[in-house]
Amino acid sequence: MEYTMTIVWLLAIIFGIAIALLAIKSLNKDKKVRTKYDERQLKIRGDAFKYGFFATLITNGIIMALAASNLDAFLGMNAYFIPIFIGVVTQMTYSVFKDSYFGINNNSKGYLAFMAFIGLLNFAIAIFSTIEGELITDGVLQSSFLNYLCGGLFLILAIELRIKNIIDKKA
Amino acid sequence: MKNLKLKAARAASDMSQDELAKAVGVSRQTINAVEKGDYNPSVNLCISICKTLNKTLDELFWEN
């Protein structure tokens, strides 16, 4: 069926969102889905999203400029996700170092444990794909590279939170 | 500019930054930022802090 992969992707996205919402609801201190931020955090998160937006645009521009080169052909469909990854990392980094990543009602330790699990799961899938020779096919990076990006995202978050913790203790 | 009056009032009430933050509904880091002078709170937040510490706006947030 020609729409099979599209349906599979849509179901995977819906399933992922459902799992995320369930996790957020169970991990928040007030058992609500919505994360609460105070006024300072909201302002900083607004700035963080702005910087993330521009980082996404710039990265997208760079990839478009590479459109005629072999690198663009190598990236395949991952070219769509790398700018999003850069934007998310930018927003996340700014929020973490300005104490605005976790909200007032977040159970930060629970979140970290959940994110560690998701990150490790993604790395496991990515490494398995690499071992099976499915990472690069016909000279094109395959979608299993996204698992490296997801795992990398959570690894970056863990490192940033650790650095922030060290900075706060020294202050 | 540091808000030493706020810090003193909080200490006089025997409250930690975390306790004051929970009482007014903000994060501990926000109270810390207000005391250090890194963040200018809104009037609503100022009023919440004053009510919690039983002080007036002038006593905590007006420059001498």
Per-residue pLDDT of chain A (171 residues; tens, 9 = 90+): 668 888 988 998 999 899 889 888 888 988 888 999 999 999 999 999 999 999 999 999 998 888 767 777 788 888 889 999 999 999 999 999 999 999 999 998 888 898 899 999 999 999 999 999 888 888 888 888 999 999 999 999 999 999 999 998 887
With beta carbons under 8 A apart, name residues in chain A contacting B36: none
DSSP assignment of chain A equals -TTHHHHHHHHHHHHHHHHHHHHHHHHBTT--SSPP--HHHHHHHHHHHHHHHHHHHHHHHHHHHTTTSHHHHHHTTHHHHHHHHHHHHHHHHHHHHTT-SS-TTB-HHHHHHHHHHHHHHHHHHHHHHHHTT-SEETTEE-TTHHHHHHHHHHHHHHHHHHHHHHHHHH-
Contact at CB, A39 and B29, closer than 8 angstroms: no
Contact at CB, B26 and A40, closer than 8 angstroms: yes
The complex scores an ipTM of 0.91
Interface test with chain A among B22, B26, B48, by most A beta carbons within 10 Å: B26
Q: Note the pTM of the prediction, 2 decimals.
A: 0.87
